[in-house]
Amino acid sequence: MLEETLQGVRFFEFLTEEEREEFAEASEPVSFGPGENIIEEGADQGSLFVLVSGAVEVRKGLRVGGSRLLAEIDASRGRTVVGERGLLGESGASATVRTVGEVEAIRIPRETFRRMVQEGRPAAFKLSYRIARTLARRLTRLDEEVVEAIRELENKGETDIEAFRDRLITDWSV
C-alpha cells in the first residue's frame, strides 16, 4: 500500500518498482492534527516526509519575532516531499513545517536511510543522487538570482525588491 503511495510522487519516479518497495518498507505512515509541527526550525531534521493528504505552511522565524510564510503546500494538488535535505545533512531545519488541518504523511527516518546507505543499497544511493541534484540546482539558481539583483542595484535600475524577495523564497529547501 505504501509503495502505491510513493508511486504517485515525482520525487520517487526515477526509482524502479522494487526500489520504491524498499523505501515503502523503510517508511512509516504518520498522522498529524491541525497546527502541529512536522519539522521545527532549528531542531534536528532527521526525516523526509511525503505529504499524502492535507495542507501545510512553511514558516521562517524572524529575528524581531513572529514568522514569515514561505510557502503553502497542499498535498491534494500532488504529493510533495519535505525535509529531504535532512537525510543527507545534519544541520538543523531552516524553517518550520506546520500543518493547517489534518495531515497524512509517510516518514522515512534518517537512521533507516543511512542504514540503507551502509548496506550499499542502490535505492538509497539513487535517492541521494536525486537530492544532491536538487540541492545543486537550487544553490546555482539562488546564486544567479543574487548576482542578477546586485547588477540591477548597480545599474540603479528599477529593481523590483519584492519580486527579488519572492524569487529568493521560492523553492525554499527546509
Partner 1 sequence: MRETPDLGEVPIFRHLDEDERAEFEELLEPVSFEAGQRIFEEGTAEERLYVITSGTVDVYKKVLPGRRQRLATLEAPTVIGEMGLLTEPRAAASVEATTRVEAHGVGRDWLLEMLDADSPAACKLVYEIGRTLAERMAATNETVAGVISRLENTAAGGFEDVDVFRDKLVQDWSF
Residues that bind partner 1 (CB under 8 A): 60, 62-63, 68, 85-86, 88-92, 94-95, 117, 120, 122, 125-126, 128-129, 131-133, 135-140, 142-144, 146-147, 149-151, 153-154, 156, 159, 161-162, 164-165, 168-169, 172-173
The DSSP string of 9-23 is: -GGGTTS-HHHHHHH
Closer of 54 and 86 to partner 1 (Cβ) = 86
Least gap, CB of 41 to partner 1 (angstroms):
10
In angstroms, rounded to a whole number, what is the distance separating the alpha carbons of residues 154 and 143? 17
In angstroms, rounded to a whole number, what is the distance separating the alpha carbons of residues 27 and 142? 31
SS3 99: strand
Closer of 10 and 165 to partner 1 (Cβ) = 165
Closer of 37 and 128 to partner 1 (Cβ) = 128
Give the up-direction half-sphere exposure of residue 44: CA atoms within 13 A in the CB hemisphere.
7
Closer of 105 and 131 to partner 1 (Cβ) = 131
